[in-house]
Structure 1
Amino acid sequence: MKPLLLLDVDGVLNPMGRPTIDYRRYRCTIGTEVYTVHLNPRHGRRLLDLALSTGSELVWATTWEHHANEWIAPRIGLPALPVITMGPGRPRSEHGEMFKTPHVAAYAGRRPFVWFDDQVWAEDEEYLRVSQGLRDFLLVHVDPRHGLTREHLGMAHEWLTLTGFSQGP
């Protein structure tokens, strides 16, 4: 089974702090809402390289859901990706985990995964390990002020290759 690389948008690809010169500003309209996002076009190539070198599959794990394929992917050079749908409303937390965590667990099943998100904490890890019985995952907490860095990608690459989940060349 191919490992998964799960991607959040806000706080990960769209940092909340002052973006560096590597980022470009975009205005995205979804329904009647207009959002300003800052995206680094290099992220797409770096994520594709990580997926290729580890034999992993990129998947959106974001409240943007399918809108990420319309608004985010083309601006950073990613193809359309599978999407973990979060469903209507936000389920109540059982053990302090983030509302996305049960959806991620259901989608991943027994596949190993790396999850890049700015809101994953110890409660999410505990929920996945204890409540869901999952063992083969790495939660990469991204500082929302700075967004995704080479260090985060390096952590994922190292974990996938050292644990033997990498199916890359």
Structure 2
Amino acid sequence: MPGPVPLLFLDVDGPLIPFGSPQPYPTYETDRSEPGGGASHPLLPRLDPAHGPRLSALPCELVWATTWAADANDCIAPRLGLPELAVVDWPETSATEEQDARNGLHWKTRTLVEWAAGRAFAWVDDEISDADRAWVSVWHAGRALLRRVDARTGLGDADYRVLDEWLRGARGTV
């Protein structure tokens, strides 16, 4: 009997809202309004609404793994046509995390592995490093894909192909 579908931990800034390139970015209009004044965020027009259907089509449980925290459900999800998603709550910075940072480990890594609790997961972020991949391979009992996305371009066709293939292969595994 297959286990639960894999998780997809999703960062916003970089993967969904590109930044850092000197060229102008395309902007997108949406007829969806965000509660809480999300439309006033200067980078939200860069959020391509086509990400919503593409993310929804992936065989996984989507989870916000972003500093936007619950604001992702108020500001990002409506523009993408996504339902309210689970949100990873980030702990206060600890001495362990400060040491991790000195060793090249991303501050999100430990929390995501704990949150997954052995369940297969993919993580999409623009700051993933080889140190994160190595740490996850040792400390996470399930399958994991850490997909670094170029913040200047955001999630693209190749990223979606890799995610879809990996998630289909990981479906039902822990």
Normalising TM by the smaller chain, what interval?
Answer: 0.7 to 0.9
Q: 1:30 to 1:134 in 2, by over 3 A?
A: farther
Question: Which of residues 30, 44, 51 is equivalent to 2:52?
Answer: 44
Question: Which of residues 148, 152, 168 is equivalent to 2:159?
Answer: 152
**Deviation, structure 1 residue 134:** 3.6
Corresponding residue number in structure 1 for 2:106: 98
- 1:73 aligned onto 2:77: yes
- 1:19 aligned onto 2:22: no
Deviation string for 1:71-102 (max 9, x for gaps)? Answer: 11101111110001112346314231111111
What is the identity percentage for the equivalent residue pairs of Structure 1 and Structure 2? 38
Letter in 1 for 2:118: R
Q: 1:143 to 1:29 in 2, by over 3 A?
A: farther
Q: 1:29 to 1:78 in 2, by over 3 A?
A: closer
Counterpart contact for 1:69–1:81, Cα < 8 Å: yes
Gap regions ≥5 residues in structure 1 = none
Kindly report the root-mean-square deviation, in angstroms, between the aligned alpha carbons of the 2 structures.
2.3
- Which one is further off, 90-99 or 143-152? 90-99
- 1:35 aligned onto 2:38: no
Corresponding residue number in structure 1 for 2:132: 124
Gap regions ≥5 residues in structure 2 = none
Number of residues of Structure 1 aligned to a counterpart in Structure 2: 155
TM, length-normalised to structure 2: 0.80
**Deviation, structure 1 residue 70:** 0.6
TM, length-normalised to structure 1: 0.82
Counterpart contact for 1:29–1:35, Cα < 8 Å: no
Corresponding residue number in structure 2 for 1:57: 61
Name the SS of the counterpart of 1:41 in structure 2. Answer: coil
Corresponding residue number in structure 1 for 2:123: 115
Name the SS of the counterpart of 1:36 in structure 2. Answer: coil
Q: Of Structure 1 and Structure 2, which has the larger fraction of its residues in strand?
A: 1
Q: 1:65 to 1:42 in 2, by over 3 A?
A: same
Stretches of 4+ moved more than 3 A in 1? 28-31
Name the SS of the counterpart of 2:41 in structure 1. Answer: strand
Q: Of Structure 1 and Structure 2, which has the larger fraction of its residues in helix?
A: 2
Counterpart contact for 1:120–1:139, Cα < 8 Å: yes
